[in-house]
Amino acid sequence: MNSCHIACFTPPLPDESCYSVLCRCLVRESVSSFRFELQMFNRQRDLSRLLYQPFRFEDLSRWFDDAESRQREYLDLHSVLQYRYPVLAESARRLIRYWRDCHCLAVGELKYLTRAIGFSHLPKQKLCYCNDCVDNDRKTYGETYWHLSHQLPAVVFCPIHETPIAVSDVPISSTRYELIPAEYILRKQAQKEVLCSQSPYDMNLSHDSMWMLYHGFEMDAVKLVMLMSTLGENDLTKVLKEMQRYSNSISALEYSNTEHFILLCRIIGISPQSLVAN
């Protein structure tokens, strides 16, 4: 297959979402074919999916000759696949492993996986960022970008700088059909609303979320279930109460929810790192 070489496609930066990679491409856009490609790409798809999910192998194959080596990089380092992996059903985990081996997934399989790794509710209403990361990105790369970790539901502190996450003017809903580069928005943004901490666990949850984003494939979630089974009834009631205090939306433990998973770890006094498979 002849790939359409996208001259303006720059390598992804650390912790950058695929959506942000496309945003920066648009800024560099020098070839009309890219706009055309984007229209084709976006004709049937929701661009906001790329805030959390990787580029598909079919798209990478059209854009690059070395799509296979890029596929794993985007899956592992620029999507929430690792973050979601430990809590998914085995059928979804099997598909992820198959996908990581650079196989194309069938339409039905992709749909199933997209649903499985998606969030049950919109994690945040607007795109988020960290002021210190913005400064650092500009010094290091000459521009800032949308970081994947800052968009995760439980991240209210920057896992690197430990400063409160700021909220941009960009509603997640407008990322469906529009590419909105971080550099463009954050240069203009005047007020800097920040997310408030709701729980004593928030700093840990922010660090744990970042850790899961890049180490989820190493984890053995069954260890947590085994650990939970050793708790007595009183301890379990206490854990449930703590979880409900953290969020009104938590009425029962959902084992398919990564935020619940890391909160559970912290309430019972362990870190997700201690659940790494041997």
Query: Which residues of this chain interact with Zn ion, rule CB under 5 A?
Result: 130, 132-133, 158, 160-161
- Distance separating alpha carbons of residues 278 and 77, to the nearest angstrom: 22
Residue 128 or residue 160: which is nearer to Zn ion going by CB?
160
Distance of alpha carbon 137 from alpha carbon 224, whole angstroms: 36
The rounded distance, in Å, linking the Cα atoms of 213 and 228 is 23
Query: Judged by CB, which is closer to Zn ion: 132, or 218?
Result: 132
Question: Nearest distance from residue 146's CB to Zn ion, in Å?
Answer: 13
We find the least distance from the C-beta atom of residue 195 to Zn ion, in angstroms, to be 13
CB of residue 157 vs Zn ion: minimum separation in angstroms? Answer: 9
Instruction: Reduce the DSSP state of residue 157 to 3 states and report it.
Output: strand
Q: Which is nearer to Zn ion, 210 or 265 (CB)?
A: 210
Contact by Cβ (8 Å): 193, 61: no
Can you give the C-alpha Rg of the chain in angstroms? 19
Residue 129 CB, nearest distance to Zn ion (Å)?
8
137 vs 242, beta carbon nearer Zn ion: 137
Q: How far apart are CA 66 and CA 60, in angstroms?
A: 8
Q: Least CB distance from residue 20 to Zn ion, whole Å?
A: 15
**Is the Cβ of residue 159 or residue 216 nearer to Zn ion in the bound state?**
159
> Do residues 200 and 241 lie in contact, with contact meaning Cβ atoms separated by under 8 Å?
no
* Residue 137 beta carbon to Zn ion: minimum distance, rounded to whole angstroms: 9
C-alpha dist (Å) from residue 270 to 52, 91, 201, 215, 253 = 27, 28, 12, 16, 17
Amino acid at the residue 47:
L
In the complex with Zn ion, which residue's Cβ is closer, 92 or 133? 133
> Encoding tokens for residue 257?
């929810």
